[in-house]
Amino acid sequence: MRVGVVGAGIAGLTAGYALSKQGIEVNLFERSDSITEFGAGITLSKNATILLRDLELFDSIAGSGFHPRKSFIRDYKNCSVLNSMELDDNFLTLDRRDLVEQLDLRFKEAQGNIHTNKEVTSISPSTGTLSFANHPDETYDLVLVCDGIRSSLRDSNFEGQEPRFTNYIAWRGMTQITQLPRFEDSDKVNVYYGPGSHWVHYPTGRDEMVNFVAVENNPRWSEESWKVEGFKTDFLESFEGWNDDLISMAMSSDRLYKWGIFERPLPKTLYNGRAILLGDAAHPMVPFLGQGGCLAIEDAYCLSSLINQVADLEEVLSIFDEMRNNRSRWIQKRSRLQGSFNHISNPLLIPIRNIFAKIFMKKSVQNLHSYNLNAELSLKLQARL
């Protein structure tokens, strides 16, 4: 079998590594001239890290990250604790650059082939043929489309729902750990609920740096790019009334970036002929559960496991589609609901929201992180017999 992968993000690199590890020939194509990632934090929870352990990736990735051990929900103004829960070694925070760097390294060690500065301009799903801007066509038994939410290949080969602005804008930045608010456990995962907005911050394990994200309700996004450098004066206006120490932490960042948060409905099926969607090309979502990267890893593991255990490729794609479409739709909806919950602004509803956070936080998080892809795979494969 020969596999072509379009896009060197988390989904593409993880899938490429997992398939190469099985001895399958994998060629990964990246239109940029290098494998790079924007400096920002990412969280990986147990549903993904147990898969990284199975793939023998976890230790090298965790070596670049941070185990926060605890998570808190706090009030936006006085930072009082609404609830907290313990986290174990299966929960990891890190810089996206370090994650992608490790996946890139391990993919190459597994004899995977990466071709940078080689843009795939079109694919033929019926034949598995890739066309390039300045290179001859190449044909593969299977093509993994992993080129992100703005995937042009999805537009032309799958249902063409356009990405939709969600009326959320995220302000992102990084700063030194010494700039954290000066209260106990500020160096853990901390989430703050405010009216029409919320914040998250956590250490990344990279150069004593902390990642922070502040999300506001905002129906206006007129930028051509989805990420622009923001003005600190605009940031201060958006988060007026928030805790002074939190504001000070954000102001200590060299730069603040504004991201318009977009999502895209899943297509009815995730595959077309020999082409299949993975990661954000398939199921981009609002980031309020920290599951975007986790689902990309789940996609990659699921597909590689099915290819390893099921001989018929059409059956592989059918089982993958059923499993991942159902799972991704649920997480996408659940993420959307979490955003509404985090951003309640009605003064009468805020105390009720906080009571719910106190009662249900632990159970909700545990249910989310305890999903076991291998258990679902086993059930699906047993049902075939």
pLDDT band at 134; cut points 50, 70, 90: confident
- pLDDT at residue 96, rounded to an integer: 94
Burial of 129 (0-12, 13-18, 19+ CB in 10 A): middle
Mean pLDDT of 226-249: 94
Tens of pLDDT, residues 14-30 = 999 999 999 999 999 99
323-380: pLDDT as tens digits:
999 999 999 999 999 999 999 999 999 999 999 999 999 999 999 999 999 999 999 9
Would you tell me how many other CB atoms lie within 10 Å of the CB of residue 126? 10
Q: Is the pLDDT of residue 186 over 80?
A: yes
Task: Give a yes or no: residue 54 inside a domain.
Answer: yes
**What φ, ψ does residue 176 adopt, rounded to 5°?**
-70, 150
Distance CA 189, CA 72 (A): 6
Do the domain assignments include residue 322?
Answer: yes
**Is 233 a domain residue?**
no
Kindly list the distances between the CA atom of residue 377 and the CA atoms of 163, 267, 315, in Å, as whole numbers in the listed order.
30, 22, 13
The label of the residue with tokens 């990632």 reads 37
User: What pLDDT does residue 220 have?
Assistant: 87
Q: Residue 206: is its pLDDT beyond 80?
A: yes
Predicted local distance difference test score (pLDDT) of residue 33: 82
Q: Is 18 inside a domain boundary? A: yes
How many degrees, rounded to 5, is the angle at CA 265 between CA 225 and CA 376? 125
Count of CB atoms situated within 10 Å of the CB of 77 = 14
- The answer to whether residue 178 is domain-embedded is no
Phi then psi for residue 323, to 5 deg, are -65, -50
Average pLDDT over residues 211-229: 85
Rounded-to-integer distance, Cα 52 and Cα 70, Å: 21
Provide mean pLDDT across the span 59-87: 96
Tokens found for residue 233:
């004066």
CATH code: domain of residue 51: 3.50.50.60
Judged on CB neighbours under 10 Å (0-12, 13-18, 19+), 105 is middle
Q: Which pLDDT band, with edges at 50, 70 and 90, does 221 fall under?
A: confident
Residue 138 falls within a domain, yes or no? yes
What pLDDT, on the 0 to 100 scale, is given for residue 385? 64
| 148 in a structural domain | yes
The C-alpha atoms of residue 100 and residue 222 are separated, in whole angstroms, by 30
pLDDT for position 74: 97
* Mean pLDDT computed over 294-314: 97
Within a domain: residue 101?
Answer: yes
Q: Contact 35/114 with Cβ under 8 angstroms?
A: yes
**Lowest-confidence region among 123-127, 150-154, 375-379:** 150-154
Angle at 219 between CA 337 and CA 196, to 5 degrees: 50
Residues 6+ apart with CB under 8 A from 5: 12, 15, 16, 26, 27, 28, 29, 143, 144, 146
Helix (H) or strand (E) holding 8: none
The pLDDT of residue 384 is 76
The percentage of the chain sitting over the pLDDT mark of 90, rounded to a whole number, equals 90
Burial of 63 (0-12, 13-18, 19+ CB in 10 A): exposed
Residues 6+ apart with CB under 8 A from 371: 47, 327
DSSP per residue, 242-267:
S-HHHHHHHHTSS--EEEEEEE-PPP
Residue 226 has pLDDT above 90, yes or no: no
**Given pLDDT bands bounded at 50, 70 and 90, which one contains residue 227?**
confident
pLDDT of residue 102: 96
Strand 138-139 with 189-194, pairing: unpaired
Using pLDDT thresholds of 50, 70 and 90, give the confidence band for residue 37: low
Q: What pLDDT score does 125 carry?
A: 97
> Nearest-CA neighbor of 143 among 9, 381, 317, 380?
317
Length of the chain: 385
Identify the domain containing residue 276 by its residue range. Answer: 2-163+263-384
Map tokens 């906080």 to a residue: 354
Q: What is the pLDDT of residue 294?
A: 98
Check whether 224 has a pLDDT greater than 60: no
Looking at residue 225, its pLDDT comes to 64
pLDDT-derived band at 242 (thresholds 50, 70, 90) equals very high
Across the range 115-136, mean pLDDT stands at: 95
**In the predicted structure, residue 79 carries a pLDDT above the cut 90:** yes
The domain tally of the chain equals 1
- Distance between CA atoms of residues 149 and 159, nearest Å: 13
